[in-house]
Amino acid sequence: MTFEEIVNYRRSIRYYKDIPIDSEKVKRCVELATLAPNSSNMQLWEFYHIAAPEVIQQLSVACLNQQAASTAQQMLVFVTRQDLFRQRAKKILELETQNIIRNSPKEKQESRIKQRKLYYGRAMPFLYSRFFGIMGIIRVIFVNLVGLFRPIVYQVSESDMRVVVHKTCALAAQTFMLAMASEGYDTCPMEGFDSRKVKRILKLPYEAEVNMVISCGIRDKQGVWGDRIRIPFDEVYKRI
């Protein structure tokens, strides 16, 4: 399919056929999801691929027994891991350093590596750290002072950074669903779920947050609820 055909094919499917899907193809779609754009390339996410029927049944209950969950052949749970910011920043710095050595002119390598060390060694830990809202208040005061002299990002509170991490994870989720559509598989993103139950089922740590649960399978004709309806394009498209 062309990209336009993939986008038009993808629908939120509420009922799946009782036909198995290939776990390796689903895994490949998750791999493609990791290529989604994400803030500062921090990749503060994890992807839980559930193929075990007994766990799917448990997740179905946690998803309020929606048919999109109870008829699913497999499930993906997209999880944000802001708590891993130090480990991820360290790893990205290592990879960026290798990237610079491989691809940058020798005379620019030292300055670029120094830049990355400052960014991932200091800026990212400062932005993503949390401490009962206090770190966010410190960041807000800081950017408001700097903003008196030059343009700056003001959304740096602890709740703002939580939004950033969830937006990043949602981009990966959308990439995954489009990849699944290209395989002829179907999905349904679900936000109606008991997050505490989902976290218990997957044994997630307290700091992890469930971004989205996506059911997977092959659509049954009753799984598509009519035509796709959208607000008129002229109401949402603003050209300046």
pLDDT of residue 33: 98
The one-character DSSP state at 82 is G
pLDDT of residue 229: 94
In this prediction, the residues of the chain whose per-residue pLDDT falls under 70 are none
Coil/strand/helix, residue 219: strand
Q: What digits encode the pLDDT tens for the residues 111-124?
A: 999 999 999 999 99
Coil/strand/helix, residue 189: strand
pLDDT of residue 225: 87
- Do 225 and 101 touch, CB atoms closer than 8 A? no
Q: Give me the sign of the Cα torsion angle 79, 82, 88, 93.
A: positive
From the options 1.10.10.10, 3.40.50.720, 3.90.1150.10, 3.40.109.10, give the CATH code of 3-81+174-225.
3.40.109.10
Q: How far apart are CA 141 and CA 40, in angstroms?
A: 22
β strands within the chain, DSSP E:
45-50, 74-80, 186-190, 209-217
Q: What digits encode the pLDDT tens for the residues 207-232?
A: 999 999 999 999 999 999 899 999 99
Q: How far apart are CA 118 and CA 123, in angstroms?
A: 7
Q: How far apart are CA 100 and CA 157, in angstroms?
A: 31
pLDDT of residue 43: 98
Map out the domains of the chain as residue ranges: 3-81+174-225
pLDDT of residue 216: 98
CA distances (Å), origin 3, targets 46, 169, 172, 216: 26, 21, 17, 20
Q: What digits encode the pLDDT tens for the residues 88-111?
A: 999 999 999 999 999 999 999 999
What is the reported pTM?
Answer: 0.95
User: Which DSSP string corresponds to 134-150?
Assistant: HHHHHHHHHHHHHTTTS
